[in-house]
Amino acid sequence: MEPFSVLLIDDEEELVSTLVERLEFRGIRAAAATSGRRAFEALEKQEFQVAVIDLKMPGLSGIDVLEVMRRRYPDTKVILITGHGTEDGSSAEVPPGAFDILLKPFSIEALIERIHAALGRQGRRVP
Amino acid sequence: MTREPSGGGELDALKFVGAVTASVSHELNNVITIIDQVGGLLQDTLAGARAGAPLDMGRLQSMQERIARQTRRGIEIVKNLNRFAHGVDEPVAQFEVNAAVANLVSLVQRLAELKKVRLSVRYAGREAYVTSSPFRLQQAVFHCLERFLQCAPPGSEIALAIACEGSSACVAVSGPALSADEDWRDRLAGVMQVAHAPPARISLAGGERTEIRIEMPARH
């Protein structure tokens, strides 16, 4: 297993549970949370080096979760994911405090490449 | 080149279509993303099996169920979007009010969920046919929902109720007390001014909760 853990936060339960299985298949420890509140509960119990957060969630939005994480868990790198693209289909602007933003749908390789990049590890850039 | 819409009414209609399609495309994007990832997981599992790992039938079944569930969800979204799109086929048509409201709710429910606001709907116990524009009625109801959503705190409720009263059908939208200025009321009334259709009556009642009623002559 890789020496880091990833927390996936999205209200689409079937998305995060599937991503957890796919990351673990590739030797990456991962856990899922379906809301900001549940994410904070997970972060209280365990240290995560990377959090992957959906921007649009009921209640606490991805930006709300990001802001709390910047204060309470500053060492956890944050990658945002979103189904909202820009007019020309390019990536939206990365908010302060986040490492990167990925547009849905994305490949597992692209997600892993961003995770490695957030941790400062070398990896092949996947579009 | 971008062409500016000619009037406020047209711009409001475009904004309404934009809000609906943004919400629906976001939902569809989620559906496609899940199916794509479950398909990828299936590929991972088969690659593992080729490398000698035992095939877990329970996991395979769970993947198949996830794909089936999301496919059904996607089909439902597309059906509702298609119904919505056909609402502008005719400027004025005879349509069933409960179905038109149900169609709108299916498309914008997520906007309320994102704000953790409960959107409840009480349909009339019978069908109510009106002669007007289904698109304009949906736009008017959305205009009200949007206004309530701007001020509704998380945990609150916005209620939609459709009723058949005498020879009319009424769609009532109620939620936390709000101030509806004259400009906003005029825009709402403007939405329901449909040429060649019997006039609709719009009224607003305040109190602890605000209720906006849209009444149209109906055939039950």
Domain assignments of chain A as residue spans, ordered by start: 5-118
The beta-carbon contacts of B86-90 under 8 Å, at least 24 apart in sequence, are: B87/B133, B87/B134, B87/B135, B87/B138, B88/B133, B88/B135, B90/B133
Angle B186-B188-B193 (CA atoms, 0-180°, nearest 5)? 90
Q: Are residues B144 and B212 in the same domain?
A: yes
For the cut 90, the answer to whether the pLDDT of residue A46 exceeds it is yes
List the domain range (segments joined by +) for residue B155: 90-219
Looking at the structure of chain B, the number of domains it has is 2
Position A33 confidence tier, pLDDT thresholds 50, 70, 90: very high
Is residue B3 in a domain? Answer: no
Q: Are residues B17 and B125 in the same domain?
A: no
pLDDT at res. B166: 86
Q: Are residues B61 and B16 in the same domain?
A: yes
Interface confidence, given as ipTM, is 0.91
Position B58 confidence tier, pLDDT thresholds 50, 70, 90: very high
For the cut 70, the answer to whether the pLDDT of residue B2 exceeds it is no
pLDDT at res. B35: 98
Among B65-69, B132-136, B178-182, B185-189, the least confident range: B178-182
Task: Please say whether the structural domain A5-118 has been given the CATH code 2.30.30.100.
Answer: no
Are B44 and A58 an interchain contact pair (Cβ–Cβ within 8 Å)?
Answer: no
Q: Among the three residues B24, B57, B86, which one is the final residue of a domain in this structure?
A: B86
Residue B150 or B8, more confident: B150
Using a CB–CB cut-off of 8 Å, the residues of A that contact B are 12, 14-15, 18-19, 21-22, 25, 56-59, 61, 83-84, 104-108
Kindly state the helix (H) or strand (E) to which residue A46 belongs, with its residue range: none
Residue B17 or B182, more confident: B17
Q: Among the three residues B67, B86, B105, which one is the final residue of a domain in this structure?
A: B86
pLDDT at res. B180: 78
* A36 neighbourhood in chain B, CB within 8 Å: none
For the cut 60, the answer to whether the pLDDT of residue B63 exceeds it is yes
pLDDT digits (tens, 9 = 90+) for A59-71: 899 999 999 999 9
